[in-house]
Chain A
Amino acid sequence: MKLQRSGYLAGIALTATIALTGCGSDNEAPAASGSAAPGDCVAGSSLTAQGSTAQKNAMDEWIKAYQGQCAGSAVDYQGNGSGAGIEAFIAGTADFAGSDSALKEEEVAQADAKCPGGKALNLPMVIGPVAVVYNVQGVDGLQLSASTIAKIFAGTVKKWNDPAIAAENAGATLPDATIETVHRSDESGTTDNFTKYLSKSAEADWSFGNAKAWKAPGGTGAAKSDGVATKVKSTPNTISYVELSFAENSDLQKAKIKNGAGEFVELTGESAGKTFENATVKGTDGDLALELDYNTSTAGAYPIVLVTYEIACSKGSAKAKEIQSFLKYTSSTAGQTALAELGYAPLPETLRTKVEASVAAIS
């Protein structure tokens, strides 16, 4: 108990230190002055937000650090799903929402109505890479292309020593065992992003489209990310997909994925961020909804990534200053690097500066 608490405090202290060293140019005394944060604190601010569970861990980390810097401010983020978050934003019960996808056409008008004089912005904030994890005795550094992954999860490749897998893994000794594919039994943004990747980059082998529910036949369902991680960890010959943080926490083997440039890339925060370096922004006027290119030919880019957005008003929100202050911190270098340990990838600098500019324009 005592140990836990001191560990917790140490964690806060550590993140605070990281956050502070991130903006060392200020040269101010820590916290006490109240303006040490990269964002300007708003006295007595209190924000409520909800939405995507994929960025819940990131939010928790940010809130802890932000509240440490801005004494007296309170931010509450509920991870109850992107859909619920957007609904709450439209209903006015959330000051901003977290979402796994940019606002849909039918949602845009409703969301804009909440922002008199402005509009609802999609601000990419958290990059969550999806790892393809597997558990096969004696096989390290498995290499897979999108089409092979699609075949495995669609059930057309059934054995680990199938020629399709062997062709991409010269020299590896693959067992003659049935592949057990594991997917999320609950609906999940991770499933949506993973199937989106398959449907975009392996159209010929993946006919199930993309959705939050798993649509391919067969396989085995496991509840939540930790259920999937436990299942793969404990069961030989399994393969599944899970956010990077869960893969690392459970110490699972991650497959190297072939990108548009033809390289097999290992998943790291950096390689995931590279995919976004050349992403097209399809939003205008500060809206940064992204058109993601899974077949990106950027060297060293890991293609299976999800980006989650914060949805906030550009103008007209009663709490504009408070929202701005918090998002200014999350989009700062300090805010982004604080996430690395949690298995998220920091926004690449080109994109981060755009987000920062959009946040600065909130009024």
Chain B
Amino acid sequence: MGDYPSRSDNATAGDLGVTSRHAQGAGAGVYPSSNDEPPVGGGGALPKKARFSVETAFRALSTAAGAMVLVIIVAIAAFLVSKAVPALQKNNGNFLTETTWFPNDAEPVFGIAALAFGTVLSSLLALLISVPIALAIALFLSHYAPKRLATPLGFVIDLLAAVPSVVFGLWGRDYFQQPVRDFSIWLNEYFGWLPIFGGEGPFGQSIMLGALVLAIMVLPIVTSLSREVFQQTPGMNEEAALALGATRWEMIRTAVLPYGKPGVIAAVMLGLGRALGETIALALTLGITFDISFNLIQNGGNSIAANIANSFAEANATGRGALIASGLVLFAITLVVNMTARAIIYRRREFRDSAA
């Protein structure tokens, strides 16, 4: 693990610029030997270690910063649990299976089932829509577009990530809803025999609208990261593929995509993280009903974060505790997603490195 820090940096964040693609290609080829180089170049000229040098100070600073992450995570978890437990004890329903959400009543009944379902469904649907498009854009920018076009287009995509989510939410609610409704009615008419497009309406303010808005929000994240990853593909691999007679698409399939896979997975997981935690855009575009339904086009749908945004202002002590408990569930879902992503990336990387 310690051998690859610079590489994993490049795989996720990446160096900007046109030269990195080729420099990295060359670098990757001689990578193992390059580890030994720095001492050869500058070892003799290093100053003696002072007791309170910048080295020690910086080391302490970065250790503290690293430890801080853990402290913050533990503190968040402890805070959430301490607030959530009293509310959960007052709950008259089963928190995991109950679909209603009435924590402010004298006899509180609330459960996470419908909310967690809506959160996961809308996020997965958003990824299903956005990932293929994002990858296509990324490949276009890194391998098809002329440089003069690729750079400004890349900027525009990054700009999309800077639009506040409330803007997406309001746009989705006020302008995008009508086309989605028309499309839903069309789907319902011709594909109504599929349960996901069934129902009698009303249509429009549905999981589909929420997922489409989410997809647009996730798109720039996945695109940016994937583009960086694709640009890092070793030039030698690409040229080798082309030299063997591969077409452009075959070269991408055999050289670029396998190389970029872990990075793309990381990008998708990051996108999923954003989708799971998205609050206000979903609060504005979903139908905010508490039921579990796979119907994508009928009004309805809800998510954990959207429910927190909607309910927090008027919640009493139990209500706030219940919302915090739902936040804890979101925390757990996100943790599982991230750990899965890590696991996939590590396994892939070992596989790739041993093969290389």
A contact residues vs B (CB 8 Å cutoff): 80-81, 83, 158, 178-180, 185-188, 211-213, 215, 217-223, 227, 230-231, 234-235, 237-238
8 contacts between A and B (CB under 8 A): A81-B313, A158-B200, A218-B291, A220-B202, A220-B299, A220-B300, A235-B204, A237-B202
Q: Does A221 contact B314, Cβ atoms closer than 8 Å?
A: no
Q: Of the 9-residue stretches B7-15, B282-290, B346-354, which lies at the interface with chain A?
A: B282-290
Q: Of the 9-residue stretches B18-26, B67-75, B82-90, B99-107, which lies at the interface with chain A?
A: B99-107
Q: How far is the CA of A7 from the CA of B173 in the complex (A)?
A: 31
Q: Does A217 contact B291, Cβ atoms closer than 8 Å?
A: yes
Q: Does B200 contact A187, Cβ atoms closer than 8 Å?
A: no
Q: Does A221 contact B289, Cβ atoms closer than 8 Å?
A: yes
Q: Does B104 contact A213, Cβ atoms closer than 8 Å?
A: yes
Q: Does B101 contact A213, Cβ atoms closer than 8 Å?
A: yes
Q: How far is the CA of A187 from the CA of B103 in the complex (A)?
A: 11
Interface bin, chain B? 20 to 34
Name the residue of chain B whose CB is nearest to the CB of A159.
Answer: B200
Across the interface, A186 reaches (CB within 8 A) one of B174, B178, B202, B310, namely: B310
Q: Does A234 contact B314, Cβ atoms closer than 8 Å?
A: no
Q: Does B299 contact A185, Cβ atoms closer than 8 Å?
A: no
Give A141 Cβ to nearest chain B Cβ, in Å. Answer: 23
Known: A83-B316, A178-B200, A178-B202. A221 touches B288 (CB 8 A): yes
Across the interface, B314 reaches (CB within 8 A) one of A187, A219, A231, namely: A187
Across the interface, B288 reaches (CB within 8 A) one of A158, A222, A234, namely: A222
A contact residues around B300 at 8 Å (CB): 218, 220
Q: Does B204 contact A218, Cβ atoms closer than 8 Å?
A: no
Name the residue of chain B whose CB is nearest to the CB of A215.
Answer: B102
B205 at interface by CB-CB < 8 Å:
yes
Known: A186-B314, A234-B177. A223 touches B200 (CB 8 A): no
Name the residue of chain A whose CB is nearest to the CB of B284.
Answer: A223
Q: Which of A180, A218, A221 has the most CB of B within 10 A?
A: A221
Q: Does B201 contact A180, Cβ atoms closer than 8 Å?
A: yes
Q: How far is the CA of A237 from the CA of B286 in the complex (A)?
A: 18
Give A158 Cβ to nearest chain B Cβ, in Å. Answer: 7
Q: Does B104 contact A219, Cβ atoms closer than 8 Å?
A: no
Q: Does A83 contact B314, Cβ atoms closer than 8 Å?
A: yes
Q: Does A187 contact B311, Cβ atoms closer than 8 Å?
A: yes
Known: A220-B202, A221-B310. A185 touches B102 (CB 8 A): no
Q: How far is the CA of A235 from the CA of B209 in the complex (A)?
A: 15
Q: How far is the CA of A2 from the CA of B205 in the complex (A)?
A: 39
Q: Does B287 contact A221, Cβ atoms closer than 8 Å?
A: yes
Q: Does B291 contact A223, Cβ atoms closer than 8 Å?
A: no
Q: How far is the CA of A70 from the CA of B181 in the complex (A)?
A: 54
Q: Which of B204, B299, B302 has the most CB of A within 10 A?
A: B299
Q: How far is the CA of A261 from the CA of B300 in the complex (A)?
A: 38
A contact residues around B315 at 8 Å (CB): 187
Q: Does B289 contact A219, Cβ atoms closer than 8 Å?
A: yes
Q: How far is the CA of A18 from the CA of B68 in the complex (A)?
A: 60
B contact residues around A217 at 8 Å (CB): 289, 291
Q: Does B202 contact A180, Cβ atoms closer than 8 Å?
A: yes
Q: How far is the CA of A238 from the CA of B201 in the complex (A)?
A: 12
Across the interface, B173 reaches (CB within 8 A) one of A180, A187, A230, A238, namely: A230
A contact residues around B314 at 8 Å (CB): 81, 83, 186-188, 212
B contact residues around A158 at 8 Å (CB): 200
Name the residue of chain B whose CB is nearest to the CB of A180.
Answer: B202
Give B170 Cβ to nearest chain A Cβ, in Å. Answer: 9
Q: Does B289 contact A220, Cβ atoms closer than 8 Å?
A: yes
B contact residues around A180 at 8 Å (CB): 201-202, 299
